[in-house]
Amino acid sequence: MQTDSSFTFVLFGGTGDLSMRKILPALFEAHRAGGMLADSGKIVAVARHATDRGEYIQWVNEHVKPHVSKNGVDEAAWASFLERIEFVNIDLGKAEDFVHLRDAIQDLPGIRVFYLATGPSLFVPICHALASVGLNANSRIVLEKPLGYDLKSSNAINDAVGEIFAEEQIYRIDHYLGKEPVQNLLALRFGNALFEPLWRREWVESIQITIAEELGVEARGDFYDNTGALRDMVQNHLLQLLSIVAMEPPHSMDSDSVRDEKLRVLRALKPIDPRDIGKVAVRGQYHAGVIRGTAVPAYATEPGVKPDSATETFVALKVEIENWRWAGVPFFLRTGKRLADRVAEIVVNFRAVPHSALGASALRAGANRLVIRLQPNETIRLYCLAKQPGEGMNLASVHLDLAFDQFFREGQMEAYQRLLLDVINGRLALFVRRDEQEAAWRWVEPILNEWKASNKPPKPYASGTWGPAASSAMLAQHGTCWLEEEN
């Protein structure tokens, strides 16, 4: 992914948590790799919590450096990376301050990328301020989630931003789309003749997509209590992963071909009748419990959370896709905080053989399944049945592993690194188009509305478990269960 593309990367929210943990470390890794970033490329941080470049560089050394390079920091590379960084101190709420930003970057080379690592309430004011000083032309803008609270507010933001930037200038980022196993899912499906004939209702019994976290809301209680797991994780990450798993083969990997196929999946999601939401949607809220031997508090006692909060920290859904390929195949989605393990994975459960000529042990051993793990370790594992050594025909489940860190000698690229390089190089395929986002909100909204109208509290679950029992019961009705393995 080498490039000669010169760029000026303007980072709003330059002292924020996202900049500290993800964006600046990702840019450093691209810089350190050599050839991924043009030598003339500049990073311009925008923030109020530093007075000048010297103070900002000191902040970067103290707060960003600990998050880069798992195997230690190359000091020479780090020093040359710092030379790329400029700093502008402006108040994002004052449009007149953006004159200082214009003056600071007008002579810098290459395409301009504006990354809004800020709260969504600042998206529209920043865009208007950029336009007021002529910085919206020939540039790209990156919007972080959440993009709105519901369909109406999402449309309002998109309408306002769309008046200033054309759709091809707007990069709505979802970092799960940049993960290596998600890229390998596309390679697995569309680069191999082996799987495509099996990737359909005749051979697939069910599909699970899980994003589980051990952490609670940490210091984001105020934000999370007004958001919840359905908005925070399902409307974007989980539905995007679902669309990639279920999409038809695109005619090429260009941006609109891929996103057109994802959109068709989102539009084919079976609408949920409000009367059936209790059968196909489970919401929960974590109570006190134990995570890896440490006692953790209940959600309602977290800082910034209302004591009587009805916000969900866990969601499990049964989803159906009304098209020829997937009719009748249930997709089970699950996400939650304070669960038993930190894991993100896609599980494709294949149908059992129609008749077991090998006896009862074949039935006990289970059917084939494909597990695509996104975190904490990135692997693809295919489970098959094989004969156990010894007398008789006794079968057991065995697996074939594709462990990327062992197979490929070169290091894997982190999701943010890949996506930031795509922005700089003008590649839109891994970013969410507006019509995709609208389709996702349109499907999610009836669930949000029914939960709000019902006034029923979320089901409690102890921290350190896999969520409310109702989640497992929902799958049991379909003769299956969640895959819950040790890492």
In contact, 169 and 294? CB cutoff 8 Å: no
Q: Give the C-alpha separation, 266 to 270, whole Å.
A: 9
Q: Considering the candidates 31, 175, 237, 287, report the single residue annotated as catalytic.
A: 237
User: Tokens 């059917």 correspond to what residue?
Assistant: 367
**Rounded Cα gap, residues 440 and 431, in angstroms:** 14
Evaluate whether 470 touches 336 at the Cβ level (below 8 Å): no
Pairing of strands 42-47, 7-12: parallel
Question: Phi and psi at residue 211, in whole multiples of 5°?
Answer: -125, 105
Q: At what angle do helices 239-246 and 434-454 cross, to 10 degrees?
A: 130
- Strand 369-375 and strand 379-387: the pairing is antiparallel
Q: 394's torsion region: left (phi>0), alpha (psi -120 to 50) or beta?
A: beta
Torsion sign over Cα 73, 75, 80, 84: positive
399 is a catalytic site residue: no
- CA pair distance 241, 333, nearest whole angstrom: 10
Catalytic residue numbers read 237
